[in-house]
Amino acid sequence: MHRRFMRGLAALSVLGSLGQAGTAFAQASDDIVKLGVLTDMSGQYSDMNGPGSLLAARMAVTDFGGTVLGKPVEVVGADHQQKADVGLGIARQWIESEKVDAIVDVTNSAIALAVQQLTRETNRIALFSSPGTTDLTGKACSPTGFQWVYDNYSNVVGPVRTLIEKGNDTFFIITADFAFGHSLEKIAIDAIKANGGKLVGSVRHPFGANDLSAFLLPAQASKAKVILLATAGKDLTTAIKQASEFGITAGGQILSAPVVFLTDIHALGLSSAQGMSFLEGFYWNQNDETRAFAKRVFEVRKTMPTALQAGVYSEVLHYLKAVQAAGTDEAKAVAAKMRELPVNDFFAKNGKVREDGRMVHDMLLVQVKKPSESKGPWDYYNVVASAPGDQVFLPLSQSECSLVKK
């Protein structure tokens, strides 16, 4: 009895010393909490995430205090080179050999889906900022996988509906020929049909094409009122520039680009991009909080942060809060806390992580300024309205995720 009592006192003493860990034995596996930012460090998406995503993750760790559960937090980064085998190999090495607890960002939907499967099997957290496929929170959802900034549904359905309501009811789709583009194309076709529009044609282009004229010319010849660009990054900016050169927009056809980021507008220039309207998850010049974050990023990188990079900061900060609240870095316990805690930072106010892993937050409807409206470098958007998250993202009632109770 005496020994049992002394063991109880010892346990209470340990619990009392844990402080931030709460009511359970706080523990970090391997005496470290380690995050790996897996992204495009050198390819065509590197401006909108890449080194900026790695910086954002490290900023979040610094702002959290650099430790959690009394253990250091480390962030490592790697370039997946837009190759699924390379990305999956890095992720596997991180998990099996380098004690990585969470994998972050993961540009490229095909790589993200492979990482989602791996982290599910190995009980690790996946924090997706960049990939657009809805399968991550749909049929390929995971108890430990989270999608943070946007997805193809959020950025396609509302704009397509608005275009059709304004009489722009015929569409031609130019699609990037890989998982991201295929997902975007399918959602766009469904939205066109559901809202009474008509698809008059489509074509798919290879990733990293330097010349998209062979794909733009049939779109122009189709006489579709809207040419929807189901692509992103440098492929997107190439398509928009060449569309202007061919007189497509001057001829009255509308270019709709659902997945656009600040760096795309910077690459295009306001003269080419002015008037474009789309949904964004974040804009650096929105308020004092966003400007403060952006200033810190600019001091290091000499560019303003994109929504994807801001999303990396937010998801890493929320992950660390969940580790602290759970008292452990064990993935399922942390995932439960991530769903329980609201997301409150400069990126999202009262954001909510659903059971399918989708973080629901308000989006911004923005319009690109005319050159005469811009007050300086990176002052590119007029914020037209705030789009409520529960109206932007796919309703749970339509979800294919096995974690969702119907």
Of 163 and 126, more confident = 126
User: How far apart are the C-alpha atoms of 326 and 317, rounded to whole Å?
Assistant: 14
pTM of the model: 0.87
Cα–Cα nearest to 362, from 341, 385, 384, 395: 385
To the nearest whole number, what is the mean pLDDT of the chain? 91
CATH code of the region 27-150+287-362:
3.40.50.2300
Q: How far is CA 399 from the centre of its chain?
A: 19
- Residue 23, pLDDT > 60, answer no
pLDDT in tens, 348-377: 999 999 999 999 999 998 989 999 999 999
Residue 347 contacts residue 359 (beta carbons within 8 Å): no
At 331, the amino acid letter reads A
Find the mean pLDDT for residues 53-80.
Answer: 98
- Name the more confident of 178 and 138: 138
Q: Please, where are the H alpha helices in 44-178?
A: 50-64, 84-97, 109-122, 152-165
In the chain, pLDDT over 90 holds for what percent of residues?
A: 78
- What DSSP state is assigned to residue 4? H
Cα(130)–Cα(280) distance, rounded to whole angstroms?
13
Residue 159 phi/psi, 5-degree rounding, is: -60, -40
Position with higher pLDDT, 87 vs 278:
87
Tracing tokens 């939907």 back to the chain, one arrives at 109
Beta bridge partners of 199: 171
- Own/partner contacts of 206-211, CB < 8 Å, gap of 24 or more, are 206/177, 207/82, 207/176, 207/177, 207/178, 207/235, 208/43, 208/44, 208/82, 208/234, 208/235, 209/235, 209/238, 210/238, 211/238, 211/242
Q: How many CA atoms lie within 13 A of 360 on its CB side?
A: 15
* Residue 10: other Cβ atoms inside 10 A: 10
| Residue 14's pLDDT band (cuts 50, 70, 90) | very low
Cβ atoms of 153 and 137 within 8 Å: the answer is no
- Residue 210 is predicted with a pLDDT of 85
Tokens 């009474």, residue located: 196
**Range 333-339, long-range pairs (CB < 8 A, 24+ positions):** 334/125, 334/144, 335/125, 335/143, 335/144, 335/146, 338/146
Return the half-sphere exposure (C-beta side, CA atoms, 13 A cut-off) of residue 19: 6
Tell the residue number behind the tokens 């995503």, with chain if given.
53
Task: Spell out the alpha helix ranges (H) of 327-386.
Answer: 331-340
Residue 311 has pLDDT above 90, yes or no: yes
For residue 151, give the nearest of 315, 392, 329, 367 by alpha carbon: 392
What is the per-residue pLDDT for 275? 82
Reply yes or no on whether the pLDDT at 147 is more than 60: yes
Per-residue confidence band for 26, with pLDDT thresholds at 50, 70 and 90? low
CATH class of 153-258: alpha beta
DSSP 189: H
Span 15-43, average pLDDT: 71
Residue 126, pLDDT > 90, answer yes
Name the residue type at position 207: F
DSSP codes, 101-139: -EEEE--SHHHHHHHHHHHHHHT-EEEESS---GGGGTT
pLDDT in tens, 168-203: 999 999 999 988 899 999 999 999 999 999 999 999
4: left (phi over 0), alpha (psi -120 to 50) or beta: alpha
Q: What is the DSSP letter of 184?
A: H
Q: What is the pLDDT of residue 340?
A: 98
* Domains 27-150+287-362 and 153-258 belong to one CATH topology: yes
Instruction: Give the start-to-end residue ranges of the domains of the chain.
Output: 27-150+287-362, 153-258
The Cα 47–Cα 379 span in angstroms is: 17
Residue 233 pairs in a beta bridge with none
- Decide if 245 contacts 148 (C-beta within 8 A): no
pLDDT at residue 16 greater than cutoff 70: no
- Token pair listed for 237: 């900016």
Give residue 199's pLDDT. Answer: 98
> CA gyration radius for the chain?
22
Mean of pLDDT values over 271-287: 91
Among 13-22, 98-107, 128-137, the least confident range: 13-22
Q: What pLDDT shows up at residue 201?
A: 97
